[in-house]
């Protein structure tokens, strides 16, 4: 093969990898248009005991308000929701683009909120005993926690942006 062919193949492989990282794990259609001031649920993440909630504000400076709301005080999370700006998730750091949620504004059809949800999976498999069961013993767990060796849990992070032109 010529050097030009090899370069073209390398560039093609790089572009395929980049586009695969930009493709969300969940593929969903654009949501229903929402009115200004109407709080709406974007998505529930049960394993993090969290609900993503948004609201169009009608304010030109901050047209969309986004928050992560705990679903129930009794819920025991199996994953954590972390601040997007602190962790700066990317495919290079092991994060996966999990979901992209698009919600148009009913008052301004040229504007839509775009919420990107990222997930950091944990590849830990529990040790199995002789009976094939994963068991956690209280004293062992206390010793591990005291030593700072708690088990890693999956994490989620989300960021909301507004696309399109603002209406007068």
Rounded mean pLDDT, 110-132: 87
Confidence of residue 80 (pLDDT cuts 50, 70, 90): very high
Percent of the chain topping pLDDT 70: 85
Can you list the pairs that 4-10 forms with residues at least 24 positions away whose Cβ atoms lie under 8 Å? none
Residue 42 has pLDDT above 90, yes or no: yes
Task: Quote the mean pLDDT of the chain.
Answer: 84
The pLDDT assigned to 152 comes to: 79
Q: What whole-number percentage of the chain has pLDDT above 90?
A: 61
pLDDT of 21 reads: 57
Judged against a pLDDT cut of 90, whether residue 115 lies above it is answered with yes
Q: Which residue has the higher pLDDT, 160 or 131?
A: 160
> What pLDDT is recorded for position 13?
40
CA contacts within 13 A on the Cβ side of 53: 11
Q: How far apart are CA 95 and CA 131, in angstroms?
A: 34
pLDDT at residue 132 greater than cutoff 90: no
pLDDT of residue 91: 93
pLDDT at 5: 36
Instruction: Concatenate the DSSP letters of all residues of 50-98 into one string.
Output: EEEEEEE---SSS-EEEEEEES-TT---SSEE--HHHH---GGGT-EEE
pTM over 0.85: no
Whole-number Cα distances in Å, 74 to 1, 26, 62, 64, 71: 63, 28, 33, 30, 9
| Residue 145, pLDDT score | 77
Model pLDDT for residues 2-31, shown as the tens digit of each residue: 433 333 333 344 333 344 557 999 999 999
Say if residues 25 and 100 touch (Cβ distance below 8 Å).
no
């Amino acid at each position: 093969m010529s050097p030009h062919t090899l370069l073209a193949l390398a560039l093609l492989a790089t572009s395929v990898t980049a586009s695969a990282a930009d493709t969300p794990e969940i593929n969903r259609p654009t949501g229903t248009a929402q009115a200004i001031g109407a709080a709406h649920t974007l998505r529930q993440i049960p394993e993090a005991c969290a609900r993503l909630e948004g609201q169009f504000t009608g304010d030109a400076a901050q047209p969309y308000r986004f928050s992560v709301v705990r679903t129930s005080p009794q819920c025991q999370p199996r994953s954590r929701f972390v601040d997007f700006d602190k962790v700066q998730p990317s495919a290079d750091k092991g994060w996966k683009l999990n979901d992209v949620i698009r919600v148009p504004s009913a008052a301004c059809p040229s504007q839509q909120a775009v919420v990107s949800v990222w997930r950091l999976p944990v590849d830990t498999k529990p040790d199995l005993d002789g009976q094939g069961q994963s068991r956690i013993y209280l004293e062992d767990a206390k010793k591990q926690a005291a030593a700072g060796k708690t088990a890693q849990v999956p994490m989620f992070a989300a960021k909301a942006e507004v696309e399109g032109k603002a209406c007068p």
